[in-house]
Structure 1
Amino acid sequence: MATGTNGTAPTLIGSVQRALRLLEAAATHPDGAPAKQLAREAGIPLPTAYHLLRTLTHEDYLRREKGVFVLGGAVGRLAVGGTVQGRRSSLEKSLEHWRDAIGAPVYFAVYREGEIELVAVADTPYTPAVQEWANFRETGHAHAIGQCLLSQLEESARRDHLERHPVQPVTPYSVSDQRSLSERLAATGRMQPVVERQEYALGTVCAAIPITAGSTAAAMAISLPLHQEERLLPAVEQLRLGVGGLLSALSFSISI
């Protein structure tokens, strides 16, 4: 047992350890257990156990029901948080793999709650991602990711998006009006890459591919300097052929 400098008062670390032992004991009793039983199984004096149980109940790590303690909602949120972090790490590692394999920045984005959301980017100082100089969500018509996501939406959802974020030129190469954009999106073949050249950032070319992972529109993309434009289509095709192994991580990232 941890003690304070005077050898009697428990330290904060000791309190945390005892609280965790109480949670572990409670976890072995799905139908709940009384304080005396939890204190005995955790090896904690009953007065100390009562104090910690009150604190854990107040913080929703435990609930008291009919004289027994069961795990509370906060424990579930901890478990989900750990899973989310693990899956995010898996996604990031996958993007880093393709960044290194292709030699270009790799992006993953979704269309969620009416907005374009860039979920993750993998780049390096030698292959930097495109800098967001114009609001990424508001200029979806001008970049490959946005065009790819918009092409997957139902007509009503796409119209709603463009009413909130009107088409306007971002660079001299950008699509200039909604009609031109609609014609371009209509001509986009299913599961084919969407390519834009200097429409969002001068000196940069990008390509995006749609991702079929659940019902949410999603996309992966790469970008390259203009002088490497000849690499763009072969590189995005390499990504398209290899994306199958990413679907589990991508599907989870869409859902959170």
Structure 2
Amino acid sequence: MALKPEPTAPFHSVQYALRVLETVSKYGGGVTDADIARETGLPTFHLSALLLMLRREGYVEQVSDGAYIIGDSLVLLGSGATRETALQAKLQNTLDQLRDSVGAAVYISRYIDGEMKITQVADGPLTPAVQEWVDFRSSAHASAAGKCLLNQLDQNARRDHISRHKIARLTSKTITNERVLFSKLDSQPATVPVLDIQEYAVGTVCAAVPLTAGSTVGCLALSLPIEHAHRLRAAADSLNRQAAPVVLSLAL
């Protein structure tokens, strides 16, 4: 499976966060923000935002003298046999926080072995998940998550997917022409959330942003009932801005 070149997304700062973690890891007794700035070359204002995010996610801790040390989350994610369990728990906690922050059901979707899969969901009584009335694997052309995943593939991989999952009309809004679908995917800016306005299901609107962590093809998505459609773009932009912790967990 060939991928398109990795986009430059608002959460490209994940690469900087990894540099910060690498620096903190080198100093078992703690390291000051001034030393981190000097070693990473990051400007103070950017570093402050990264350290705030890393502290919030438990990847670093600030001790009494103000120095930074590795936090419990990073210790758990690096502990061998329990890593997968710790990662899932960490991702779920992050998704739960995102759900509450954006006021919508939130999903992680991955493209694995030629198939679209929803791997984790955070929903609730006030933020119901979209009802899977048509198998998500067969409806990537219609959902925000599916289109976001397809957009990360090259033309041959997309055509292979469509050859195995024929484009079907799910609602009156569904794009059923392959040329039109691919044209829309090609014109989709990498930094702008992909939207689904009742293309997958009547009564539901969705948005998705790519999760670019190495060769992983994934996305972070949200769904809202149609009566909250007026909140979709603001919620999608918020999701995009807050995607960094999810990407960071996948990259570690």
Q: TM-score over 0.5 for the alignment?
A: yes
SS at match of 2:206: strand
The residue aligned with 2:233 is: 233
> CA deviation digits over 1:10-52, x for unaligned, max 9?
xxxxxxxxxxxxxxxxxxxxxxxxxxxxxxxxxxxxxxxxxxx
| Aligned equivalents of 2:117, 2:148: Cα separation in 1 | 13
Q: Deviations over 1:94-139 (max 9, x none)?
A: 0000001111100111111111111100000221100111011011
- Within 5 Å, which residues of 2 pair with 1:145-160? 145-160=145-160
Which one has the largest radius of gyration?
1
Instruction: Report the equivalent of 2:43.
Output: none
Q: TM-score, normalised by structure 1?
A: 0.65
- Closer, same or farther in 2 for the Cα pair 1:251/1:110, shift >3 Å? farther
* Identity, % of aligned positions: 41
1:246 aligns with 2:240: no
Letter paired with 1:99: R
Q: Report the CA distance between 1:191 and its aligned residue.
A: 2.5
User: Structure 2: how far apart are the matches of 1:188 and 1:90?
Assistant: 30
Is there any run of 5+ residues in structure 2 with no aligned partner, and where? 1-78
1:188 partner SS: coil
Report the counterpart of residue 169 of structure 2 in structure 1. Answer: 169
If asked which structure has higher relative contact order (CA below 8 Å, sep 6+), I would say 2
Deviation at 1:81, TM superposition (A): 4.5
Aligned equivalents of 1:194 and 1:116: distance in 2? 16
CA distance in 2, matches of 1:160, 1:208: 22
- AA at the equivalent of 1:214: G
CA distance in 1 between counterparts of 2:211 and 2:95 reads 14
Q: For 1:133, what is the secondary structure of its paired residue?
A: coil
Give deviations 1:49-81, integer Å, cap 9, x for gaps.
xxxxxxxxxxxxxxxxxxxxxxxxxxxxxx754
The alpha-carbon deviation at position 171 of structure 1 amounts to: 1.2
RMSD in angstroms over aligned alpha carbons?
1.3
**Residue-by-residue CA offset, 1:157-210 (whole Å, 9 max, x unaligned):** 111001001111111111122112111111111132100111111111001011
Q: Would the aligned equivalents of 1:193 and 1:236 in 2 still touch at CA under 8 Å?
A: yes
- Once residues 130 and 91 of structure 1 are traced to their aligned partners in structure 2, the CA distance between those partners, rounded to angstroms, is 20
d(CA) in 2 for partners of 1:97, 1:185: 30
Partner of 1:9: none
Aligned to 1:221: 221
Off by >6 Å, runs of 4+ in structure 1: none
Q: Which amino acid aligns with 1:197?
A: I
- Alignment partners' CA distance in 2, 1:181 and 1:123: 29
1:180 and 2:174 are equivalent in the alignment: no
* Mapped partners of 1:86, 1:145: distance in 2: 25
SS of alignment partner, residue 124 of structure 2? coil
Within 5 Å, give how 1:60-79 maps onto structure 2: none
SS in 2 for 1:101: helix
Whichever residue aligns with residue 193 of structure 2, its letter is P
Q: Distance in 2 between matches of 1:244 and 1:180?
A: 31
Q: TM-score, normalised by structure 2?
A: 0.66
Alignment partner, residue 121 of structure 1:
121
Gaps in structure 1 of 5+ consecutive residues: 1-78
Distance 1:195 1:247 in 2: 20
- Is contact 1:205–1:232 with CA below 8 Å preserved after alignment? yes
Contact 1:107–1:118 (Cα < 8 Å) also in 2: yes
Show the counterpart of 1:143. Answer: 143
